[in-house]
Amino acid sequence: MTCDHRGDKIRAGPYEVLVGGTRYMKVGDLRKADIVVPLIERRLSKRIRERFNILPYPWPDFRPPPEGFKQFLEEKIVPLLHEGKKVLVFCVGGHGRTGTFLASLIALIESVAETPDPIAAVRERHCSHAVETLEQVAAVFALRGQAVPEIYKPRKKLEVVR
């Protein structure tokens, strides 16, 4: 996998969100943002916490969003974007948690008619590796009250009958 997510600008509705992964970003990449939203569980260094406006949202790797995620997006993130703040969101690789964050934001902000599949949208706008688990897929569509589309469900192997 050859990715280099260092604060890419990704559209979500009328807003642009900066996204990245600690695997690729340098401290200077954080300067692009007014608000830094780490989706990682470990604490950032004291030096970084002192230099940047941090809004932590710890989220275990390969897991769906934590409880209260929709409220976090609607009450914290969307108002910041509406105010014109540059928000940088990142996990380690910029795929699972970051991709799910973006797809969820798209699911909430963009209509079903405009963007029927928020995961396909984030994979097109950001990275083909975005959103890594079926649980993450289910969480995105649950925000719209929808079931997981068939294209995301695991395919069963056909059994050979003799």
pLDDT in tens, 73-106: 999 999 999 999 999 999 999 999 999 999 999 9
Domain limits, the chain: 6-152
CATH for the stretch 6-152: 3.90.190.10
- To the nearest 10°, the Cα dihedral for 17, 39, 97, 130? 40
Q: Are 139 and 67 in contact (CB under 8 A)?
A: no
What confidence score (pLDDT) does residue 154 get? Answer: 87
C-beta separation of 111 from 92 below 8 A: no
Residues (pLDDT < 70) of the chain are: 1, 156-162
Cα(111)–Cα(118) distance, integer angstroms: 10
pLDDT of 120 reads 98
Closest-CA residue to 140 (of 57, 73, 40): 73
Q: What is the pLDDT of residue 129?
A: 95
Measured CA to CA, the distance from residue 57 to residue 38 in angstroms comes to 6
